[in-house]
Amino acid sequence: MLQRTMTRHTLETLCFDNTYARLPQAFYARLNPTPFSTPPYLIHANPAAAQLIDLDPDQFGRSEFAALFGGSALATGMEPLAMLYSGHQFGVYVPQLGDGRAILLGEVKNERGERWDLHLKGAGMTPFSRDGDGRAVLRSTIREYLCCAAMRGLGIPTTQALCLVGSDDKVYREQIETGAMLVRMAPSHVRFGTFEVFYYRKQHEHLKTLADYVIEQHFPHLRDVEERYVRFFTEVVERTVTLIAQWQAVGWAHGVMNTDNMSILGLTLDYGPYGFMDDYDAGFICNHSDHNGRYAFNQQPYIGLWNLSCLAQALLPLAEKEALKAGLDTYQPLFEREYLRRMRAKFGLAEERAEDDGLVRDFLGLLQGSHADYTIVLRELSAFSTADSALNEKLREHFLNRDRFNDWAVRYRDRLRSEHSRDDERRDRMSRVNPRYVLRNYFAQTAIEKAQDKDFSEINRLFTLLQDPFAEQPGMNTYALPPPNWGKHIAVSCSS
């Protein structure tokens, strides 16, 4: 059988097909990126993301690559624009947000017919900057670049990051930092807030245009379906459920789940003050600006539903209220089922049983009471022995109340035995869903501090590590250890 050879494009031959730029002018503002005042330079580039747009990774070494994705040049076919949207921020509606420090350069169409937005973050001021400078700092772009890689490695739907470009330009935040730009990729950057802006402006003709556009481009199986707007909303509910269930299962908090940070495609979008949990804490707040804990880890499922209710509200001119409400009503049972399905896999349970929810929740309670590390303990749980309790001593040492753990371990052992679980086979299955490595905040902080001295080796090391977080990687054992005490207390905020 002959294999099709993939075309590898240069920067000059990328194929642009800018469908969003064909929408009415009310959807965006056209403008070019603002170049840095100092020459941009490439910090890191992602071959896997380049493959999505058929771009030859050999292009990374060209000076034109850093110029193009550092805002100093445009490729043929790009039609730069800043997207308009609004949104509920910390529960309060803000009538106009939009791309305040990002510009959609254009949409690349690959050989498979897939379209990928090239979205340049840190590209300078736009009409939506709201008194901001439109820049991103090196610190925040490193955090986003690495977490895109981490989520992709974990199999969690996410935007991708093509490259990270640095500069010597000074940017003023809480302190003086250097500016950087990041190219974010996604099939679409339409958000819940993109629908909200036209609903609250009572521009229902634009709302319909947007819904029809999103369905045509990203839900084409619904284009001729009766009640397609309701069906579209229901599928967005399902995608959002799946996404947040994956966040909860892996122990990750977004930090700023505003409706303008919710992807219509169910992708993890806008990496700011995120955090993977170290010690398990159901009420984990990763954003030190979130004083009331609105976006705490255990609130994320509820906030997902709340945000979807805002989207349903925005779709009222296009669909019946009761039909949209019926879609919303599916959220909670879908989430409970999807989350528990993923947790069963993490616990190595092959069969579905009524007592599983209690078994999982009691274990999480033990973790919380012992300040035990979520990632490490679940990974070690894969080595649980159903035949010899003495072999479980290493796992038992993570828990302060050994008697309570022993009681739980007996329940778990009996549950595994009742479905004839084989320890070796179960260990393999659990190791494929319980990561050995996650992007802990202190890993990112170490990479940031080195990068501020123009040492990018830790970015490269972490990027490589996070490609396969489930496999044992030689020489990387230190990345699977508990964090030092200082590493557990790194403050991140919306500017991070």
pLDDT tens by residue, 342-364: 999 999 999 999 999 999 999 99
Under 8 Å between Cβ of 163 and 183: yes
Instruction: Give Cα 494 to chain centroid, integer Å.
Output: 15
Confidence class for position 466, pLDDT limits 50, 70, 90: very high
Examine the pLDDT at 2 and tell me if it is beyond 50: no
Closest by CA position to 269, among listed 305, 244, 234, 288: 244
Confidence class for position 107, pLDDT limits 50, 70, 90: very high
Examine the pLDDT at 184 and tell me if it is beyond 80: yes
pLDDT tens by residue, 251-269: 999 999 999 999 999 999 9
Active site residue 169: no
Identify the pLDDT of residue 349: 98
Strands (E), 217-352: 252-253, 275-276
pLDDT (average), residues 443-454: 97
Identify the pLDDT of residue 174: 82
Identify the pLDDT of residue 483: 94
Confidence class for position 6, pLDDT limits 50, 70, 90: low
List the structure tokens of 3: 């294999």
Examine the pLDDT at 489 and tell me if it is beyond 90: no
What's the rounded Cα separation, in Å, for the pair 242 and 246?
6
List the structure tokens of 181: 């730009």
pLDDT tens by residue, 293-337: 999 999 999 999 999 999 999 999 999 999 999 999 999 999 999
Under 8 Å between Cβ of 97 and 127: no
pLDDT tens by residue, 468-483: 999 999 999 999 999 9
pLDDT tens by residue, 211-229: 999 999 999 999 999 999 9
Identify the pLDDT of residue 132: 86
* Coil, helix or strand at residue 359: helix
Confidence (pTM) = 0.96
Confidence class for position 168, pLDDT limits 50, 70, 90: very high
**Which of 54, 99, 260, 290 is labelled catalytic?**
260
Strands (E), 173-322: 176-186, 252-253, 275-276
Examine the pLDDT at 5 and tell me if it is beyond 60: no
Confidence class for position 491, pLDDT limits 50, 70, 90: confident
Strand partners, 183: 120, 163
Residue reference for tokens 């890993």: 443
What's the rounded Cα separation, in Å, for the pair 192 and 211?
11
What are the C-alpha distances in Å from 274 to residues 110, 474, 494? 31, 28, 9
pLDDT tens by residue, 421-440: 999 999 999 999 999 999 99
What are the C-alpha distances in Å from 169 to residues 34, 42, 64, 165, 166? 12, 14, 19, 12, 9
Examine the pLDDT at 1 and tell me if it is beyond 50: no
Confidence class for position 3, pLDDT limits 50, 70, 90: very low
Q: What angle do CA 189, 72, 138 make, to 5 degrees?
A: 65
DSSP state, 352?
A: -
